[in-house]
Chains A and B, each alone.
Chain A
Amino acid sequence: MSVQVISNTCTGCETCVSACPFGAIEMRGGKAFITESCTLCGACIEACEFKAIERTGEEAVAAAKDLSAFKGVWVFAEQHKGGISSVTLELLGEGRKLADKRQTKLSAVFIGQDIKNRAKDLIAHGADVVYLADDPALKDFNDDSYSAVLTTLATLHKPEIILAGATAIGRSFIPKVAAKLYTGLTADCTVLDIDPETGNLHQTRPAFGGNIMATIVSPNHRPQMATVRHKVMKPAPRNDARTGEIIEVKFTQTGDVRTKVIKTVEELGETVNICEANIIVAGGRGMGGVKNFHLLEELAKVLGGAVAATRGAVDEGWIPYSHQVGQTGKTVCPKLYIACGISGAIQHVAGMQSSDVIVAINKDPDAPIFSVATYGIVGDVLEVLPVMIKKFKEIRG
């Protein structure tokens, strides 16, 4: 397969040269020329008004595997101390849709210790089968043991698709599974769709700091693996009447488990993990100091949300790094994001721009945050926040 310029049609306008995210197009003799840096992404094909670029020769790639042997949609059902993570329910919701389109089963892989009694919850939320690996050796998250369980199961049962949350745990061990299975893995997806005929999973994700979206497929490899962002998929509703099968799998330690968790320290305390919050109240350097952060906490409390921050505020030492949103922090996607005293630097915006509704409070009417805000309040946070807290308290009774 290759992307080629139709020389006669090319007008030499150079639009494709700047459209190429990989800098793979040069002008030669007044016409566009595609160099070997091309990744076949097709950005140039879309950019060319003259239809002078085309994809050619869907050459028959010798399929490395018999793709038809792979069936079923799997989700990795993440849990913390027995509590099923909210992203797991979102994966079950999305997985159910994909499985129905493909007329196949949805299975959940559930790994941990003392979690047996929760397996039926996964069935109530849409799973047809639960592979349950419940073992004292699986108490803590460990890359070696978790990837051993999932790789062994996937090798045995050959699922067509494996989804996991783009969480600290998912993003850590899922790539090891993909490496072992020699298959494609797409990180941090926000949209999934399946081609009902080929079974190809179209995985869409942001790249280049959220500046562009890319759709990725693994046409010749199975299982197709993806990690999925929190909060972008709809959680599966609960239906206790659903039935399914729970298959207990013995965890036998093949290979070494070379890493060991000695201690777990929870930092967020009573506040919620910001990735899972529906409402986030975030503060930046414009809060003016740690002494004013109680305003954010108070507002978050009234709304039942969580407190987040910019790198600016984290660097000032006003709040721990685990609350940081942005390129070097967490990516969040709440229903409501209230940005207080935040300038809206691209690195921060990259982590919050997919929020459904954004309210920005900034005293500078030209602050870049206003260009992503649904509603912008121009004013001093120290004046605005107390009024806001008061009004929300009123309507919340």
Chain B
Amino acid sequence: MNIIVLVKQVPDTSEVKINRETNTLIRDGVPSIINPFDMFAIEEALRLREQHGGKVTAVTMGPPQAADALKETVAMGVDEVVLLSDRAFAGADTWATSYTLAQGIKKLGAYDLVIAGKQAIDGDTAQVGPETADMLGIPFIAYIKKIEAIAGGKMTVERMMDDGYDVVESSLPALITVVKEINQPRLPSLKGKMKAKNLKVTTLTAKDINADENLLGLKGSPTKVVRIFPPAPRGQREILSGTIEQQVDQVVKKLKEQSLV
């Protein structure tokens, strides 16, 4: 089976800090990583290939340096990679990103399954998966924690819900997004690293994917970010002291005063 994985290069948000004096983000030295959820997508694709044969293609839309993320996927065992990169893609919101990804995927020939991460840790929107599926005209299922079976043009999967999970059946091709429960991503292999080192990443531009330029990047994005600001600092903090008994007493009293309990 042919599987496409959507990966995004993101700043490691756990390393991003706010400078409280200037109220700005401190980005210095923040490393770029593959979005952690996309690691589960890559791993699942590789496992399916090991079971069913076929190939895995990783696709990303991003600036030229996003090629590094693609190389990392090759080191893990991905067969082919495609970088969608063009100045016209810059400033894309989830709608324009999904449009670009869908146009790019249409160029790749027949596929059975597209796997994306549940969400990207920079934007946390979880919208690119479902929007891309819609633009490709294929079924979409979110938050997959297990692929139970794939056979005869159909698959059965377990979808996480807020209060448990659903077992869902879908026709193929389809697009799924995966959660951390699904697997434990492998480390890159030595052989993979060698292959990645010598890899020349294929880049497709707006023209290559027959994109309507009015639907790309900032121009094609319905949403505009008008303001970015730091979150309000949390109110007063109090670290209590005394014996455990005394500390608990103080907390219980304060919570009671605020009618919280």
B207 at the interface (CB under 8 A from A): no
B106 at the interface (CB under 8 A from A): no
> How many residues on chain A are close to B (CB under 8 Å)?
106
A99 at the interface (CB under 8 A from B): no
Task: Indicate which residue in B18, B156, B244 contacts A211 across the interface (CB closer than 8 Å).
Answer: B18
Residue-wise interface mask of A (253-268) relative to B, using a CB-CB cutoff of 8 A (1 in contact, 0 not): 0000011111111111
Q: A18-B19, A211-B16 are in contact. Are A377 and B251 (CB under 8 A)?
A: yes
A262 touches B260 (CB 8 A): no
B80 at the interface (CB under 8 A from A): no
- Cβ distance B79 to chain A, nearest Cβ, rounded Å: 27
- Cβ distance A392 to chain B, nearest Cβ, rounded Å: 6
Query: Could you say which of A69-77, A115-123, A184-192, A287-295 contacts chain B?
Result: A184-192
A321 at the interface (CB under 8 A from B): yes
B91 at the interface (CB under 8 A from A): yes
A346 touches B223 (CB 8 A): no
Give Cα A282–Cα B169 distance, bound, in whole angstroms: 34
B230 touches A186 (CB 8 A): no
**Residues of chain A contacted by B141 (CB below 8 angstroms):** 143, 259
A213 touches B230 (CB 8 A): yes
A42 at the interface (CB under 8 A from B): yes
A38 at the interface (CB under 8 A from B): yes
B251 touches A359 (CB 8 A): yes
A37 touches B169 (CB 8 A): no
Interface residues in B74-121 by Cβ distance below 8 A to A read: 87, 90-91, 93-95, 98, 121
Query: Could you say which of B44-52, B127-135, B185-193 contacts chain A?
Result: B127-135
Q: A18-B27, A40-B91, A47-B24 are in contact. Are A179 and B163 (CB under 8 A)?
A: no
Which of B25, B163, B238 has the most CB atoms of chain A within a 10 A radius of its CB? B163
CB closest residue in chain B, given A39: B91
A267 touches B124 (CB 8 A): no
Interface residues in B128-175 by Cβ distance below 8 A to A read: 129-131, 133-135, 139-143, 145, 156, 160-171, 174
A265 touches B165 (CB 8 A): yes
A185 touches B127 (CB 8 A): yes
A26 at the interface (CB under 8 A from B): no
Q: A168-B162, A258-B170 are in contact. Are A38 and B91 (CB under 8 A)?
A: yes
B95 touches A41 (CB 8 A): no
B167 touches A221 (CB 8 A): no
A46 at the interface (CB under 8 A from B): yes
CB closest residue in chain B, given A165: B162
Q: Is the interface of B mostly helix, strand, loop or mixed?
A: mixed
Residue-wise interface mask of A (193-206) relative to B, using a CB-CB cutoff of 8 A (1 in contact, 0 not): 00000000010001
**Residues of chain B contacted by A347 (CB below 8 angstroms):** 14
Give Cα A95–Cα B254 distance, bound, in whole angstroms: 34
Give Cα A358–Cα B160 distance, bound, in whole angstroms: 28
**Residues of chain B contacted by A266 (CB below 8 angstroms):** 163-164
A126 at the interface (CB under 8 A from B): no
A275 touches B162 (CB 8 A): yes
CB closest residue in chain B, given A220: B222
A376 touches B230 (CB 8 A): no
Give Cα A379–Cα B241 distance, bound, in whole angstroms: 10
B90 touches A184 (CB 8 A): no
B224 touches A218 (CB 8 A): yes
Give Cα A148–Cα B234 distance, bound, in whole angstroms: 42
- Cβ distance B89 to chain A, nearest Cβ, rounded Å: 10
Q: A176-B130, A210-B231 are in contact. Are A265 and B226 (CB under 8 A)?
A: no
**Residues of chain B contacted by A265 (CB below 8 angstroms):** 164-167
- Interface range for B: 35 or more
**Residues of chain A contacted by B143 (CB below 8 angstroms):** 168, 172
**Residues of chain A contacted by B195 (CB below 8 angstroms):** none
**Residues of chain A contacted by B125 (CB below 8 angstroms):** 187-188
Residue-wise interface mask of B (211-244) relative to A, using a CB-CB cutoff of 8 A (1 in contact, 0 not): 0000000100111111111110011111111001
- Cβ distance A259 to chain B, nearest Cβ, rounded Å: 4
**Residues of chain B contacted by A178 (CB below 8 angstroms):** 95, 127, 131
B252 touches A391 (CB 8 A): yes
**Residues of chain A contacted by B258 (CB below 8 angstroms):** 357
B163 touches A211 (CB 8 A): no
B139 touches A261 (CB 8 A): no
A217 touches B249 (CB 8 A): no
**Residues of chain B contacted by A357 (CB below 8 angstroms):** 255, 258, 260
Task: Indicate which residue in A173, A211, A375 contacts B240 across the interface (CB closer than 8 Å).
Answer: A375
B95 touches A179 (CB 8 A): yes
B122 at the interface (CB under 8 A from A): yes
Residue-wise interface mask of A (336-368) relative to B, using a CB-CB cutoff of 8 A (1 in contact, 0 not): 100000000111000001001111000001000
Interface residues in A239-286 by Cβ distance below 8 A to B read: 258-268, 273, 275, 279
**Residues of chain B contacted by A19 (CB below 8 angstroms):** 22, 24-25
**Residues of chain B contacted by A336 (CB below 8 angstroms):** 255, 260-261
**Residues of chain B contacted by A372 (CB below 8 angstroms):** 234
**Residues of chain B contacted by A80 (CB below 8 angstroms):** 163
Q: A216-B225, A377-B240, A384-B248 are in contact. Are A176 and B140 (CB under 8 A)?
A: yes
A18 touches B36 (CB 8 A): no
A322 at the interface (CB under 8 A from B): yes
Give Cα A281–Cα B218 distance, bound, in whole angstroms: 43
**Residues of chain A contacted by B231 (CB below 8 angstroms):** 206, 210-213, 353
**Residues of chain B contacted by A358 (CB below 8 angstroms):** 234
CB closest residue in chain A, given B126: A171
List 24 A–B pairs whose Cβ atoms lie within 8 Å, in order of A's numbering. Answer: A20-B25, A38-B90, A38-B91, A40-B91, A40-B225, A147-B134, A169-B161, A171-B127, A179-B135, A183-B95, A185-B94, A187-B123, A209-B13, A210-B231, A213-B228, A262-B156, A262-B166, A264-B161, A279-B260, A327-B121, A336-B260, A370-B239, A374-B238, A376-B240
Cβ-closest 5 pairs across A and B: A184-B222, A19-B24, A184-B223, A209-B13, A179-B134
